[in-house]
Amino acid sequence: MNKPPRTVLAFDYGLRQIGVATGNTLLGTTRPLPILRARDGIPDWDEIAKLVAEWQPDLLVVGEPLNMDGSASELSARANKFARRLHGRLGMSVIMVDERLSSFEAKQQSRERGHRGDYNADPVDSLAAELILQTWLADNRVPEP
């Protein structure tokens, strides 16, 4: 029995901005969306509600910024709090996904595409969210019959 197609929204949590990406489990496709601004890690919850209303995801994924040894980083507790608030405000399932090296990889891909590498001019948060989502999709892909 196949799982029904699912739309997923992924978030790369940050204190100043939050990257967002959407994906589809049926096709395994992903795409970055515009970043959300945050103030000390607090997003505009109305903007998140608008995104959810627009994309109607079945699941939310939040990147968990772990240290390279797998231990929690300083930002991990805040990302987990963000995930709990998403669940509480929206009543949706939220899954945490290890995001080690996603921002590093996103910056590398951005440079390869010819972007200057100036993080403020070319934020890569939504590309990082897309990489987090691709990780989740790869781990949760249903094999073809």
Q: Check which CATH number belongs to the domain holding 61 and give it.
A: 3.30.420.140
Q: Domain for residue 133, yes or no?
A: yes
Q: Which residues of the chain carry a pLDDT beneath 50?
A: 1, 117-122, 145
Model confidence pLDDT, tens digit, residues 25-61: 888 899 999 999 999 999 999 999 999 999 999 999 9
Task: State the total domains in the chain.
Answer: 1
Q: What pTM was estimated for this model as a whole?
A: 0.82
Q: Domain for residue 145, yes or no?
A: no
In our burial notation (b when 16+ CB lie closer than 10 A, e otherwise), range 44-72 reads eeeebeebbeeeebebbbbbbbbeeeeee
What's the pLDDT score for residue 118?
44
What's the pLDDT score for residue 126?
86
What's the pLDDT score for residue 6?
87
Q: Domain for residue 40, yes or no?
A: yes
Query: Rounded CA gap, 133 and 123, in Å?
Result: 18
What letter does residue 15 receive in the DSSP assignment?
S
Q: Domain for residue 103, yes or no?
A: yes
Q: Domain for residue 2, yes or no?
A: no
- What is the residue range of 40's domain? 7-139
**Phi and psi of 69, rounded to 5°?**
-85, 5
